[in-house]
Structure 1
Amino acid sequence: MTTTRTTHAPAPSAASNDLIYQLDDCPAFVPALFAALQHVLAAFVGIITPTLIIGSVLGLGAHVPYLVSMALFVSGLGTFVQAKRFGPIGSGLLCLQGTSFGFLSVILSAGFIVKGRGGSEEEILSTLFGVCFCAAFVEIAFSQFINKLRRVITPVVTGTIICLMGLSLIKVAMTDIAGGFGAPDLGALHHLALGGLVLVTIVVFNRFQSQSVRLSAVIAGLALGFGVAWYTGQVDFAQMTEVPLVSVPVPFKYGFNFDWVAFVPIAVIFLITPLETAGDLTANSIISKQPVSGPLYLRRIKSGVLADGCNSALAAMFNSLPMTTFSQNNGVIQLTGVASRHVGFYIAALLVLLGLFPAVGAVLQLMPKPVLGGATLIMFGTVAVAGIKILTEAGLHRRNVLIVAISLGLGLGVAAVPEALSQMPDALKNIFGSPITIGAFSAILLNFFLPEEHQPLAENDYEPEAHLHSVLQNPRHAEPDQPSSAPGNGLSPANQAG
């Protein structure tokens, strides 16, 4: 395996040897393609599932295969933008863009508004994509101010949000291991055994000292699980005959309509998703051994959120749903030790090909849910642990414990008992029905209004807030391309996770 190593953005700590390929390394073709495949496999279902749900609930029928292809196509374009970085657009990190689950409820509500007026399937789609295109500019505008929210979005806030991301998704992974939502034999032993086989395989491969073996952990687990599922008759290739050969991207294929009633709640969600994106990018920076304080970090957050908004507008143009960064791919970086943003170019190419040639993607759709669940359980758990690391660096004293406890309680409580919000107006229910949304709002408000506790510092102790004020007053204290020698506080804690 040959690597072209650059000297830009050095890793912040000696712990960077946990990574096989760091952010600006250029892996050779084979290991880069291998790592990219694992990212695609980890994200594939997440990318297409919101489209499948909306197509099923709104009765979009024959349009669904094309919409699925476009979801993969624009995810590839968005991933390329984030990894490559075009001027001020893109984080320059290995972060995969995919269809956001956060918009499901408001988009379904918008679809039912059009459907209730007697609108056709084409009219529903033209309104959805027209409204999403306009609403994406709300996030684009918001991205220009997100770096000024240091007093509001602090380590305790981002740590809580990242932790909620992982914890709220674990239910999805566990349900997949048991057979998937709606499975008639949910919890059957053969489902649990298949998911357990994948999980154990990934763990075993990940513990090898060989970099090549560790690099193949996720794909080996998924391949073994798929092979066993096919051998035991759980994979049916009969559906492949109905898949078209090529899907051609056509901008605004269904037209362009706008509706103010549908626009407002979707625009509100576009004000919330930047918090999730900031959390994802922070976790990605930690796992990739990049600084999470100072101008470089703040520029990445601002540019990453701007790319999120631009990619969502691009998605609407090409007949797909709003996009965001995917949490589970941070887990893939952790498991494989590959943080090179150049792998993002391979991921983008694979997703574009899957979108243009839907027959390839259709094969991946046949992968049984327990196989995917065995892999995503580890990935979502890794995301939650990244949030816990941020919180420990922020300091779990009395004030922060109160913020985290209430925010996690509300977020996980809504996830466990969604009926608790059943009497709310639909507009509020759509906003606060998301565990991440209500947890983020809670953490931000509590962090803003609860007074800081000034703990006495022992010798060699470090106070993140003091460092923040020092950096703000004299930016030269934090050089853009050099990590701080001590933890800082931009939008998150600075001490990198080892």
Structure 2
Amino acid sequence: MTDMTDGVYSDPNETPPLIEAVPLGLQHVLAMFASNVTPSIIVAGAAGLAFGGPEQVYLIQMAMLFAGIATLFQTIGLGPIGARLPIMQGTSFAFVGVLAGIAATQGLSVALTACLIGGVIHFFLGSVIQHLRFLFPPLITGLVILAIGLYLIPVAIKYAAGGAATFQMEAESFGSLMHWSVALSVVVVALVLKFFTKGIISNAAILIGLVVGYLLAIAFGMVNFSAVTNASLFMTPQPLPYGFEFSLGAVIAVTLVSIVSAIETVGDASATTKAGAGREATDKEIAGATYADGLGTAVAAVFGGLPNTSFSQNVGIVGMTGIMSRHVVTIGALFLILCGLLPKVGAVIASMPLPVLGGGVIVMFGMVAAAGLNVLSEVNMNRRNMVIIAVSLAAGLGLNLVPTAVQYLPGVVKTLMTSAVAPTAAVAIALNLLLPDEV
């Protein structure tokens, strides 16, 4: 499929024939599908929602629906909003650490309110994003992405081992051979398909691995289909399903991550134009991409969805196929919207046992950390930069692992200090501005 069209559609406004465009759009969805729904499952678990219950199903539906809507903001656009490039939007892993912490301690109402306000702030970053880029050289962005991955890896191991009582699993079965057999089957299948196949199968390796693990879990009697049976055929999103509850600390934490997410989107927009058209992204495209990021996040939050961002793995598909058509990605977005309106799709995903999901996120979260290391590989590892890395990671991850170390701080400050990502970013930015360059 890819050889037939390689390099032909380098203009974002061109559209391949439908017989090619539809499978290409589906290819974009398959590459990001698992990563898109996973953050909602994790945050729902942190909030104490019943595993496989209707509220978790709803959050999964919102992840699919608003990933599609946010993608339309990017590909079709509205005035200055949208890069009008083949950029796939999806639920962002960058916010998981912060939102899981907020949801666990203050509830989903506070978390989603922070997402709404953070999305509005993110939207307005589009007008100044070019002036903020100096604050986020590869040293900072790489560190933040690495911190996100390192924070999430223990979550992946917990899921693979069977979860815990807080996730509606039997505590005594934690770490059982059955759980690990299912989780490792996902890892093995995903790796084999990723590196020994090509095209759609390679890009959908993690999703196919999850399907194999899911089938194995069914064979082991681990899957309960009652939620699928009880799910309705169609759903209408509900505005503010958890209410509106303001917390300054939560808003500050989400906003800090939003800035990092905006810089990531700038990189994805630039990478997309380089990969598909051999040129740099224009200022208009970068601003439009950032506007779409923020608008997608704010609109999603109104209906219970988590923040959206551009998906880097889909940039790789543009580079692999040579197809820059934004309308191909629009087709993928429409497919996501359709899935988001069908609760039985969300119920099937929600019925997936935690060890199945754990196998997938071991790979996904590890790749987040590896992506951070890849960005840091561009950095000159002199003593100054190594000190910045050391102190930033020690502060961010250390306080997150030992939250009682700051238990006497005011609530707003404590939320920020224990969020892992926010202190890592803040310390790294401050040190990068204050420490003199080495000669």
Residues paired across the two proteins, number: 417
Partner of residue 311, structure 1: 296
Assess, with a 3 A threshold, how the Cα gap between structure 1 residues 301 and 417 changes in structure 2: closer, same or farther.
Answer: farther
Partner of residue 137, structure 1: 120
The answer to whether 1:323 aligns with 2:315 is no
How far off is 1:107 after superposition?
Answer: 6.2
The answer to whether 1:149 aligns with 2:132 is yes
Gaps of 5+ in 1: 10-22, 112-123, 455-498
User: What aligned pairs does 1:162-241 form with structure 2 within 5 A after superposition?
Assistant: 162-182=145-165, 183=169, 184=171, 185-208=173-196, 210-211=198-199, 213-241=201-229
Partner of residue 9, structure 2: 6
Aligned partners of 1:82 and 1:94 also within 8 Å: yes
Q: Residues 252-279 of structure 1, C-alpha deviation per residue, up to 9 Å, x if partnerless?
A: 678x86x7xx253343234312233145
- How far apart, CA to CA, are the structure 1 residues paired with 2:188 and 2:151? 22
Q: Residues 430-471 of structure 1, C-alpha deviation per residue, up to 9 Å, x if partnerless?
A: 1222111111001100001111123xxxxxxxxxxxxxxxxx
Partner of residue 40, structure 1: 33
Code of the residue aligned with 2:261 in structure 1: it is: T
How far off is 1:203 after superposition?
Answer: 1.4
Structure number with bigger Rg: 1
Note the aligned Cα RMSD (angstroms): 3.7
Partner of residue 256, structure 2: 272
- Tell me which of 234, 244, 256 is aligned to 1:246: 234
Q: Residues 98-131 of structure 1, C-alpha deviation per residue, up to 9 Å, x if partnerless?
A: 27433455567666xxxxxxxxxxxx96x98777
Aligned partners of 2:235 and 2:342 also within 8 Å: yes
TM-score of the two chains, using structure 1 as the length reference: 0.72
Partner of residue 485, structure 1: none
How far off is 1:144 after superposition?
Answer: 2.2
Aligned partners of 1:40 and 1:347 also within 8 Å: no
Q: Residues 146-175 of structure 1, C-alpha deviation per residue, up to 9 Å, x if partnerless?
A: 321243221211111122222222222222
How far off is 1:233 after superposition?
Answer: 0.8
- How far apart, CA to CA, are the structure 2 residues paired with 1:220 and 1:129? 31
SS of corresponding position for 1:56: coil
Partner of residue 94, structure 1: 87
Partner of residue 428, structure 1: 413
Assess, with a 3 A threshold, how the Cα gap between structure 1 residues 41 and 440 changes in structure 2: closer, same or farther.
Answer: same
Assess, with a 3 A threshold, how the Cα gap between structure 1 residues 367 and 133 changes in structure 2: closer, same or farther.
Answer: closer
Partner of residue 464, structure 1: none
- How far apart, CA to CA, are the structure 1 residues paired with 2:386 and 2:111? 41
User: What aligned pairs does 1:96-495 form with structure 2 within 5 A after superposition?
Assistant: 96-98=89-91, 100-101=95-96, 102-106=98-102, 133-134=116-117, 136-182=119-165, 183=169, 184=171, 185-208=173-196, 210-211=198-199, 213-249=201-237, 251=239, 262=246, 264-278=248-262, 280-281=264-265, 284=268, 290=274, 296=281, 302-317=287-302, 319-325=303-309, 330=312, 344-454=329-439
Q: Residues 368-421 of structure 1, C-alpha deviation per residue, up to 9 Å, x if partnerless?
A: 222222222222222222222222212111111111111122222233323323
- Tell me which of 65, 79, 95 is aligned to 2:71: 79
Aligned partners of 1:179 and 1:187 also within 8 Å: yes
% identical equivalent positions: 29
SS of corresponding position for 1:325: strand
SS of corresponding position for 1:97: strand
- How far apart, CA to CA, are the structure 1 residues paired with 2:201 and 2:115? 43
Assess, with a 3 A threshold, how the Cα gap between structure 1 residues 212 and 150 changes in structure 2: closer, same or farther.
Answer: closer
- How far apart, CA to CA, are the structure 1 residues paired with 2:391 and 2:262? 21
Comparing 439-448 and 421-430, the one that deviates more: 421-430
Assess, with a 3 A threshold, how the Cα gap between structure 1 residues 110 and 172 changes in structure 2: closer, same or farther.
Answer: closer
Comparing 129-138 and 226-235, the one that deviates more: 129-138
- How far apart, CA to CA, are the structure 2 residues paired with 1:431 and 1:49? 20
SS of corresponding position for 1:399: helix
* Higher normalized helix content (fraction of residues): 2
